[in-house]
Structure formats: C-alpha cells, structure tokens
Structure 1
Amino acid sequence: MSLFSNLLNLHSANKPLEDFFTEIVAYFLSLNKKILLDWLKHHSIISDDNYSSIKISTQQAHKGLETHTEDSKLDIVVELSTGINTDVIFIESKIGSTEGWRQLEKYAEILSNLPNVKNRILIYITRDYDPKDETKILPLNLYSKVSFYQLRWHQFYNQLQKHTTDILAKEILIFMRRNQMSYTNQFSSVDLLTMVNFNKTLNLMESTLNDEVQEKFRLAFGGVIKGAASRTQWKWHSRYIIYTRFSGENFWCGLGYFNLNPDNLTEYPYLGICLEVSPGFEKRQKIIESMKKIINDKPDIWIPESLTILPTWSAIFYRKSLQQFLSKENQLSAIKDFFLESIEELKKIQPYFDFPWKGVSIEAITEADKEE
C-alpha cells in the first residue's frame, strides 16, 4: 500500500479522495514547477515558460457574482507571472463525482471578471469520461476572454511517468493506479486477454477454495462470510478470498489470493492466509504486540505488514508467490494443499492472542453441519 493510501485511510468515515488528491498534486507541482510548465505546454495550454513567478493555491474561495446563487471554491488556482503580465489558470478536478450545476460556467464567469490578467484558462480534468460542450461553458460573451481545456487524469499519469526517480512522483503514480486514474480510453492486449479468460481463471481459483478447504476454514475459525469467496473483495481490495470476522469489522482473517492488481505486470499475485486488525479497534495495541511477537518467534514463516504506530490496517501473512506453484505438475492440487497448510499455521499461533477464536472443533459438529 502506498504512503498516500495509508494517509487517506486515516479517515474512518467518508474518504475525501478528490480534495486529498488535489492537495497532493498541488503540493507536488509547487515543488516541481518545471513539470507543471511541461505538462501545460504538452497540451498546448501555454506556449511559453518564461515566467518569473509561479503561485499555486488550493481550495481558493471566490465570492459569487450577482448572477450566482452561492460562492465558489476552486480546487487549484495557478498564477503565472512574467513580471509584466499575469496568466491565471483555474483547475477543477473530478475523480468519482461529476460537475455541479453550472459549475464550470460559473468558474468561467469568475475568471472573466478577474482584473489585470492577460490569459484566463479553465481546465476540467477528470478520471472518468465526462465530455463537455464548450459552447455551454463559454457563451459568446466569454469565448474571447476564457480558454477552456478538458483533460483526463491518465494523461497526467503518463506525463508523470517520466519522473519516476522522484520519490514523491513515484508515490503519486502508485496512488493513481490504486484509484483507477491511470486508465486510458483503449483496451490493451492484456485487457483483451483478461476479458476472454476471466471465467476460466475465476473457476480455477474457485476450485482451490471450495469443498475441503472451505470446510476446514469454517471448522477452524467459525464460518465463512457469505459462504464463498468474495468478488467484492477482488474489486475493492485486489484479493479473492474466503474470510471470517472475529470482532465485527475490526479483526478478521482471510484465505486465498492477494495482490491481484499489482503495480506492474512483472509482479505475481501471492496466496496464503492473512490476519488483519483495523486502525480503530480498542484492542489493536494488544493484537499488534502479539503479531510482533509472532514475527520475532517465526520470522521465516510469517510476514508483517504495517505493524506500526501509524493508524492503519495492520496484518501478518503466511504466504507464497503464485510463481512458486507454476512449476508444479498439478498446480491446483499444490495450491489447495498450501491453503490447508496455511489454515494449520494460523491455528498454531492462536495461543499468542487473548481473544475468543470462534472455531468449531471436529467433535462439536452437529448433525445439521454434517448435512450441509
């Protein structure tokens, strides 16, 4: 998980993705003004970069004009000055939402009323396809005063890929991939292969998590949420797993396939079992201490993730790369055996934790259980 994803996850309720990303990008561009100018020139938004002063601000408030029903707050405002002339750029960003009522038109009107400005530019940049009619945003009285440009975040992503040696740029790229801002409008050859082979791949994965594996997981840890592997987990968390909870949403374990949408195509997914605790769980600190003791006692078996003071989801994994199974004659059988082994390994560390594991012993199986 990226640094910015961890920071965003500190918001336990609604995560302010758009505002959060706006602040990240604005800060990055304020530190890397040449990248800003190169990006603007690449899209023919500016033709010259002979500016002596560049100022970037976020969430800038503007009082509504007489025809506006409310004030406006602009995502990013860029002021470019040569010392003689000043150009002003309003940037409105959308990631998961769409334009508010007359939002861009109002911003264009505010731009047109700014005094002592040579070039007035309005940029609408989105993650999703959201085409705009320029004639509605810039009526005749504004057309000669304001220039409108519509961009996509994947275009910015492509520009930023030229600067992967910059640590902050690298973190932004990871965050953009995690939040679907690197996607283009075109199906790649990899996309087409995924499309035609999806059901086959899903069936293979399901076969390794069904029957014997699922039953052993249920007996060991008390159940399987929804009774099967979750496609929702795949969509939102890049994992295809069976799982159960020990304390509401705060403490859980999952068995299956992880890292199904890696940051690059050279990475392999991994499979195994995970034990994870939320950042807000009241017993978190005690659980983290137990996890650290497990890592200390079994460093060659269990792998830690985010066992830090920073409030974020923290976990330990018993896992292997999928690559390690590709040389097996019967890959599915080998994977299923490893899943059974993973369940046993998690059972072995139960004594490290002071909480109720709601496992069901073999002796406690009822007649109803046998009939399932």
Structure 2
Amino acid sequence: MKTVGELSLLVCLIIVFFNGRGWSQRLPRPRRQQSQVPCFFIFGDSLVDNGNNNGMLTLARANYRPYGIDFPQGTTGRFTNGRTFVDALAQLMGFTRYIPPYSRARGPELLRGVNYASGAAGIRDETGDNLGAHSSMNGQVANFANTVIQMRRLFRGDTNALSSYLNTCIYYCGLGSNDYLNNYFMPNFYTTSSDFTTKAYADALIQDYTRQLTQLHSLGARKVIVTAVGPIGCIPYQLARYHGNSSRCNENINKAILLFNSELRKLVDRFNGGQLQGAKFVYLDSYKSSNDLYQNGTAYGFEVIDKGCCGVGRNNGQITCLPLQQPCADRRKYLFWDAFHPTELANVIFAQSAYQSQSYTYPVNIQQLATL
C-alpha cells in the first residue's frame, strides 16, 4: 500500500492534454502543468453527477447509451455526451484522472477528492422526489463528513494535518436548478409556489444553503466555488412547454432565478467578509455565461441552440434521450445535449471561461482561487 506522502505526490503528476471528441479547434489546449490543488470535492445535481445515481431507483439516471457516447470511458452516468463542467475544470487545474463518484470512491483515492453530485438533487430535501431517489445537498454534506472520517484514518488520526490538507482543496457547489425545475415550478407535485412568493422562496433557499455551506466550512472547506442557477427558462424542456412556442424563453422562471442568484452573490460577500474565518468563496455567474453562449452561440460554432442533440418531442425537449437512441451526428454544433443539459463542448467552454477569465467569476477566477 502506498504511503500518504506517495499518494499526495501522485496528484501532482503532469497534466495530459485533453482528449476525446467534442473539443473545438479554436479553443486552446491547456499546457502541461502540475495539479494546482491536491484535491477537488464536488457537490451538485445532474449537471455534474458522474454516476452516483446509477444504483438508485430514480428516473434521473444516465447510465445508458447514448449518454457518454463521446466520453473516453463510455457510459458512466454523466448526463451529457462527454465531459461535464467539473471534468473539464479538473483537467484545467491539472488533475490527470477524473474525480471518482462517492458511490465507488474508496481508500487512498479519497485524497484526490470525491464527486457527491446527484441527479435531481436540490438545496431542499424534497426537491426531485417526483423523479425518485437522490442525494440532496444535506445528504451530500453528510457524505462529505463521512469522507472526512475515512480520510482521518489515512492521516493516522492527525487531525491538524488533515485540516491543513482540506483547507488547500477546491470545493464546487452547484445547486438550485432543481429547486425551481423539480419543485417550485411544478405545482401539481409541490406546494412551494403557493407557500412562498418568488422572493420568499429565494430567501428560504439561501437560508438553507447558508447552513449547508457553513457545515462544509466547519469540515475544512475554505476555497469554495458556488454557482448561480442558469437561465433554465431557456432550456429545450421549457421551450417545448411554454405556450407551445418553440423558441420563446419562459421569463417568469428566469426572473425568479435571478432573485436567488442576487442573494447568492451577497452571501459570498458575507462569507468572504469575515462571517466564515479564512473563507475564500468565488461566485460563478452561470446565468450570465449560459445566456451569453445562448445569445452568441454561432461565434463558437453552435448552429442549434434551442434543441437537444437527442430526445423526443418538440425541441427534443419533452422526453430526454431514450436508451440506444441515435443522437445528432455532430455534437459540436449543438449547445444542448438533451432537454436539460449542455453538450460536452459547451461544458468545456464554460470551464475555460471560469478558470482563466473574470468575465463570469467574482471576486477572482478559479485559477486565481487555486493559488490563494
């Protein structure tokens, strides 16, 4: 068995070039470099789930073809054709192997980080129940606490050394989309839209999220990325449903989301301003980055921005990809892979902008966060 020192050195190997299909030639490949941080922990929903839902009784699963059709390891449970946003981001930070899902992460590999994300998950526990089993943000934080216990054994009970190690890692938290898609704007299944105004609901989500992020901090998280909710009123699923108009965004949903995003940015200021000691939070404006790509897709080679590459019904947005369905031939021309999720190329573009630009990150970009 390798020692902790040997395993820590393992995550500092030279990065390999990006591989797989779906990479645009106009986007530069990252240079070979050492891993900027020793580990990367991921919390979120189907946008970054990499297999945690595979063994659950749920409709929110992607462990069948054509999902993963362009991924080097094939179908893994990722809700896209290739790499997710965090896959691409991890590669940019220098990781030479994909961060494992919590469902199969064991032993020394925990030192590189773990992905706890779960399709249909939300900040609220009941979010996503309409689709079946999932691990909510509360569940994901509990799973991280269990990971910390396991890591303590790897550090031979040296809690100070473990704490110092965890303080240097990067943590990604991308929740909230399902709290609107699979909760607030699903009145036939949930009562939240009658229990809360859009402002009160955003405040309630922020209150819960504050507690959850504070728990992560108490467990050792210091460098934390929190993502805004994207303009989900413009995804193929909503375009297919909104008054039968296949190209008009549902601005009622988008306006509600902006209330949450505004409060989330304020939360980042509070955390960084001393509310959480040593905290270095970054707000990732996924709403603006997604909207900019939606408005300027042709500049990146996207020819189809309102339909899924695979799916069923209007805009390929009424039903997600069916098992063994034949997707579109050239995924690089599509912004959306299915009714809800971006294609690999879109994920790579998002990751590059978040990593090296401050157009969508506040107060620093992710490359800068890694060095703090």
Q: Same fold (TM over 0.5)?
A: no
- Larger RCO (CA under 8 A, 6+ residues apart): 2
Q: Report the structure number with the largest CA radius of gyration.
A: 1
More strand by share: 1
